[in-house]
Amino acid sequence: MSILVINAGSSSVKFALFEFDTLRSLARGLLDWPGDAQHAVVTLTPADGNPISRELDVPDYRAGVVAALEMLRTSKTLGDGILVRVVGHRLIHGGPQIRRPVRIDAAMKDLIARYTHVAPLHIPAGLEAIAATESALPDVPQVGLFDTAFFADIPPAAYLYPLPYAWYEDWGIRRFGYHGTSHAYCTERAAEMLHRDPSQLRLVICHLGQGSSATAVRGGVAVTNTMGFSPLEGFMMGTRSGTVDPGILLHVLKERGMSVDELADTLHKKSGLLGISGVSSDFRQVEAAAAEGNDRARLALDVYAYRVRAMVGALAVTLGGLDALVFTGGIGENSAWLRAEVCKGLECLGVHLDASRKGTSYSLGDESAERGESRRAKKAASPLFWPDVDIAAPNSPARVLVIQTREDFMIAREARRMVLEKMNAECGK
Ligand code: AMP
């Protein structure tokens, strides 16, 4: 029996399959629309095998997900068909009341749809993936983990905007926070790596990927996240602007003849790394262009690093100090340059990188980056071990951790927990 995790994005869907009893990873999948909307490609990668791809002609997003689920379920590369016990969805927004994973039913779908205006690209995709699962796996329970749930306890001082209070009361305009599943995972993992209880730790976690955010965590509880009402606030991202002066927006609307739709498109899809560099939204490609002497690519990287560093400083101060700075997400996990650049100037907060590793790539496959026990031995002993590293100097008061985020694992674990709790409750009746 297995657990299927679905992470539905606006233009692609990621799948992950885990063994129910052990949470061992069985396979990953990606559904993508590389060209036109009717032509999808599904790639399935078994944990111990080579990827297989299939092209699909599908009328729409939902049909694409149904076809991908069918391929996953019946694929001979995964044995004689997969029996899915529960499906876990990564969902963007469940509102400030939802703190825990939920069983998805009609009322929950209505609740999710109510927040479509906040994340108009992501929320419809999540709902389509739920509908596709209902159609492809009608008897399988579905569980949702919300990105906002980890931020259910952020205090009013952190979530209120200095706008007319009626906007909050009447329209629900407040900060929510996103990437919560990743930040929650990194909180647990950091405590495990430091051999400390989460209740003792002050953490700043930087999830830096195509979308990016940072969270301040005190005692295991999120105090604030840099994304706010929508996932547009905070850090500069691949194509998203992050925080900018609202005066600029008023200016381009009033004085430059820009329409609201054009402005939305610019802030979401034409800003960030792409907007400044003019090269790409992909950090690796911008790094490569900068290395070849492209000045705007260099500038984009400098702005990116400056903004992350400034925010880490601000968040650490809200915590009254820092026990560990965590880097995660595709950029945080892989760019040694970015991590070093962010940490420059954070010495005043007790952050000191290990100088002997300066310039070393701490890529996750790098055996030499692991201290102490043999990574291989640990990996062999536990299917739940991942190669995370502490890259701070030995005497650095604050640790600097690089953690491979595992949102899919968190979702699988919580979905499994809900199934087991329900079974136990039924046995106890
Ligand atoms: P994510 O959204 O977490 O998958 O992260 C995607 C981002 O990570 C993209 O901007 C990639 O360019 C970046 N990334 C992935 N690998 C590397 C790497 N080795 N060095 C720098 N950036 C990377």
From atom 17 of ligand 1, which residue's Cα is the shortest distance away? Answer: 334
- Residue 122 corresponds to which tokens in the numbers above? 């992501």
Q: In this structure, is residue 169 part of a structural domain?
A: no
**What is the number of the ligand 1 atom nearest to the C-alpha of 211?**
2
DSSP H stretches of helix in 203-271: 246-254, 260-269
Residue 205 Cα to ligand 1 midpoint, Å, equals 17
Q: Check residue 326 and give its pLDDT.
A: 98
Residue 238 Cα to ligand 1 midpoint, Å, equals 10
pLDDT tens-digit series, residues 360-394: 333 333 333 433 334 444 444 444 445 799 999 99
Q: In this structure, is residue 163 part of a structural domain?
A: no
Same domain, yes or no: 258 and 407: yes
Same domain, yes or no: 217 and 127: no
Residue 331 Cα to ligand 1 midpoint, Å, equals 4
Same domain, yes or no: 287 and 145: no
% residues pLDDT > 70 (the chain): 91
> Other C-beta atoms within 10 Å of 59: how many?
9
Residue 329 Cα to ligand 1 midpoint, Å, equals 7
Q: Check residue 429 and give its pLDDT.
A: 67
Same domain, yes or no: 324 and 384: yes
Least confident of 37-41, 113-117, 326-330: 37-41
From atom 4 of ligand 1, which residue's Cα is the shortest distance away? Answer: 330
pLDDT tens-digit series, residues 134-168: 999 999 999 999 999 999 999 999 999 999 999 99
Same domain, yes or no: 140 and 277: no
Better-scored residue on pLDDT, 18 or 37? 18
We report the CATH number of the domain holding residue 126 as: 3.30.420.40
Residue 63 burial (CB < 10 Å; 0-12/13-18/19+)? middle
Round to whole Å and give the CA distance between 112 and 274: 31
Residue 403 Cα to ligand 1 midpoint, Å, equals 14
CB 219 within 8 A of CB 201: yes
Phi and psi at 65, nearest 5°, equal -65, -40
CB 243 within 8 A of CB 279: no
From atom 18 of ligand 1, which residue's Cα is the shortest distance away? Answer: 334
If one residue of 10, 206, 210, 308 were mutated to test the ligand 1 pocket, choosing by the most ligand atoms within 8 A of its CB, it would be: 210
Average pLDDT value for the chain = 89
Same domain, yes or no: 259 and 392: yes
Q: Check residue 359 and give its pLDDT.
A: 35
Nearest to 209 by CA among 229, 191, 236: 236
pLDDT tens-digit series, residues 65-112: 999 998 888 877 666 667 899 999 999 998 888 889 999 999 999 999
Q: In this structure, is residue 304 part of a structural domain?
A: yes
Average pLDDT, stretch 118-126? 88
- For the question of residue 323 being annotated catalytic, the response is no
Residue numbers of the domain that contains 24:
2-152
Same domain, yes or no: 70 and 125: yes
Domain count, the chain: 2
Q: In this structure, is residue 165 part of a structural domain?
A: no
Same domain, yes or no: 241 and 369: yes
**What is the number of the ligand 1 atom nearest to the C-alpha of 207?**
3
Same domain, yes or no: 269 and 373: yes
Q: In this structure, is residue 388 part of a structural domain?
A: yes
Q: Check residue 196 and give its pLDDT.
A: 95
Q: Check residue 49 and give its pLDDT.
A: 82
pLDDT tens-digit series, residues 400-415: 999 999 999 999 999 9
Nearest to 332 by CA among 226, 214, 193: 214
Same domain, yes or no: 210 and 357: yes
Q: Cβ neighbours of residue 127 under 8 Å, at least 6 residues apart?
A: 109, 112, 113
21, 36, 110, 147: the active-site residue: 147
Q: In this structure, is residue 424 part of a structural domain?
A: no
pLDDT tens-digit series, residues 307-340: 999 999 999 999 999 999 999 999 999 999 999 9
Q: Check residue 364 and give its pLDDT.
A: 35
CB 109 within 8 A of CB 142: no
Round to whole Å and give the CA distance between 372 and 391: 13
Q: In this structure, is residue 306 part of a structural domain?
A: yes
**What is the number of the ligand 1 atom nearest to the C-alpha of 281?**
10
Phi and psi at 391, nearest 5°, equal -110, 15
Same domain, yes or no: 95 and 187: no
Which residue, of 136, 152, 168, is where some domain finishes? Answer: 152
In this model, does residue 52 exceed pLDDT 50?
yes
Q: In this structure, is residue 427 part of a structural domain?
A: no
Same domain, yes or no: 87 and 28: yes
- Residue 362 corresponds to which tokens in the numbers above? 């701490």
Which residue, of 137, 152, 167, is where some domain finishes? Answer: 152
Question: CB under 6 Å to ligand 1: residues?
Answer: 209-210, 238, 282-284, 287, 329-331, 334-335
